[in-house]
Every structure is written in structure tokens, then in C-alpha cells.
Structure 1
């Protein structure tokens, strides 16, 4: 691999699920298995905190990526792992590893917490010159106009569904499209609405249907919108990782 541990620097290495780590054992780093969309959020958390971008590792064995690279890099590591590492850890084709040194764990928890501010994380990385801010301002103005029309009784089925789901929309949505977004974890819904409406505008859609949502999700590499409870389901890696007490 790229790095080698100095001779005699380690007496032993062990790995275990967080809930099975013996009391008093020192945790050097945490390995998270998740899909790329979630991995990018976890990996970007340190960059939002102190400006340091995550590192990436590929081409070496997963053991090297998981136990050696973090020792030298002292940074969050993104890696797909090698064939053996993926097979032994039973990763799905859509999953990857994120390795978080323990020294940064509190930063991740404080930023992401139990309900990560996905939109806030994204906006923190947008420059003042980014066209994102103009699009956001335009969407907000349209959303306010739709809310005023809704309050005046000028409603559609999509507007009714959006209001019930607590979503602010700036264009026409079908009920089933709203229902798909409503299944997402609460902390990503606002961000998802903005993404969908940007996608629709860029592709010439004047109405967001379930097919438009599926098309955008496919292009973004998102396989689903979370569990039916609206909290991301039990498979949400952030919920598994950060629901532990500090």
C-alpha cells in the first residue's frame, strides 16, 4: 500500500460493532458502511467544520485503507474497499466505506447530530458567486406566492399534499411525487424539494411527477427515499452511528 506502519508501533488491532466495544477500550477510528450520498455528507462534515477536505483511498487492500491510511492521514477517509474487504464485510454493490478518526467524531456529531442539517451543510460549501443563491431566492419568492394563493383557497391536490407534508414548493407537484419526498428522512426533505425543482427547471419540466422524481433520483445515484416512518428507517447509517450517547 501507500503507507506502512513503523515496526513495533502496534501491539494489536481489533474491530467490532460500536455497541460491542468493551468498556475502557480506546477507539481509534470508526468505519461507516453506507451509500455514496450519505458518505459524502459524513465526509464533508469535517470540511464544514475546519475547511479540511476528506481524503480518498483506493487500489490498496481494505485492511490498509481502514487501519493504516487513517494512521498517517489523520483525516476522514472515503474508500470503496477492495474485493476481499467488500466481500468479507458483505457490502452491497451500492455501498462504500467511510473511516472517521475518533478525534473527529465529536465534530461529526455536533454538526450532523440526530437530525443533520443537510441543506445547511450544502449551503456552507456554496460561494457567494454561486448561482445557487439566485435560484434559491427565486424559488422562495414563488413558494411564498403559492402559499398566499393556498391561503386564499386557490389550491390543487399537489398543494394540499405538500401542505400536509410540511413542504414548501414553488411549482406544480403531483400528489404521488409529494408522497415520495415525504417518505424521505425529515432532515433531507427541504433539500430534496430544492433539488427536484432545480432538476425540473433544468430539464424543461413544468410539473413534478413521480416519474420526474425517479429520473432525478436515478441521475443522483439515490436508490430510495428512506423508510415508511419518514425517519430513514432502521438502515439509516447516520441514525445507527450518531444515535449513540456521547
Structure 2
């Protein structure tokens, strides 16, 4: 299967290795992977900050870059995939790009749901000898309805022990600009999430969303805590 990568702006700038690991996993699963280096952002940060017209300009750029391509679009972020699927139709309602957006929405997938639901792949030969707990990001859970897919993939990683934390579906506190505008609340939510993770005895927190993990990692480093974060693509690319 041919797939088109969508690498979110913050992944491109801060976590490029995760993007390369996603390519590694997709190619092992039998995909031919393409990437348009001209892509930038899905437009979500500006939209959430209230700059709707500026966001629409960025969104339109992405729509036009994927126009005329039949490949499925796969992203290492449920947040960005969810924004495209749930908000683009509203942004471009009754516009000349309405049908293009409808098409893009139907072929955009988050990485783990693409592997499990489209490729029907759950075991990739990964091996990682750690005890980890999984964090359900708000976007994955509520906007993309992703719950079991990442857990099925992690259950097939040799040596990996997954333990569920308390309040696993509670927000980590990131929320994009929420973490900047309401820092004390955001930090308090991160504290709760990391505390619940530590109580499991896990050494790693795994998620589909690097935005959440970036927020949690910052709190962990600031407080010198004995736990690490890891994107699911990095887990699945380990040990082979």
C-alpha cells in the first residue's frame, strides 16, 4: 500500500527520530512511504488560539498539498489527525474545497489505528524489556475513538509489560496553548498524571501523541522523577 506521511510541525522540529521510526515500521508492514517536504502544519495551534482566519490559510495549504493524491495519509499524532477529520469540514463548509476536504478526511489516519484497522497488523517483531503504562490522549480517545488499537500493538511487543494507571482517560494538562495560558492548572494535571503512572511501578509512559509526552517529559525532568516517555512508533521500531 502507498501511504503519504503527515509529519506535524512539532514532530518535525523536536522529535524527527519518531518520524523516521514510523517510516521504518510502515515499510516493515509492507507500505511504500512518500513525504512532501513542503508540508508545514495542520493549522490546529492557530485555530485553538482563536486565530481562525490565519488557521484557515494554513489548513488550505495542507488541503491543496494533498489534493489529487489517492494515498492514505498517516500521522504520528491523533491530535493532528483528529483536527483534520473533525474541524476541517467545519472550516471549509460551503467552500470550493468542500469535496477535497471530505476526501482528505476519509483517508487520514493516526499511526496505530492505521496499522491495526487498515493493514490488520498487530505484531511487528518489536522487543523492549521495560515495564510501561499507556496514556490515552484526549484527541485519540475523544476525537479519533482510539482505545484498543495501541494496546493491541503494545501487547505484541516481546518483553514489554503494560500496566494500566488510575484515571487513564484523564487529560495530561497539555492542551496546546492551554499549557501556556493556564500554566498552574496544566502543571497540576501533569503532576496527577505522572503520579498515577509512577504508582504502577512503570519506568515508561507510552502514548500516540508526542504533544502529551512532551508536556509530561518536561514535568518529569523538572522534578527529576524516575520515569521516561516514549511514543508508540519508537516502541514498535525497537529490537529489530
Superposition TM-score tier, normalisation by shorter sequence? under 0.3
| Greater C-alpha Rg | 1
> Normalized against structure 1, the TM-score is what?
0.24
Q: TM-score scaled by structure 2?
A: 0.24
Greater relative contact order, per chain length (Cα 8 Å cut-off, separation 6+): 2
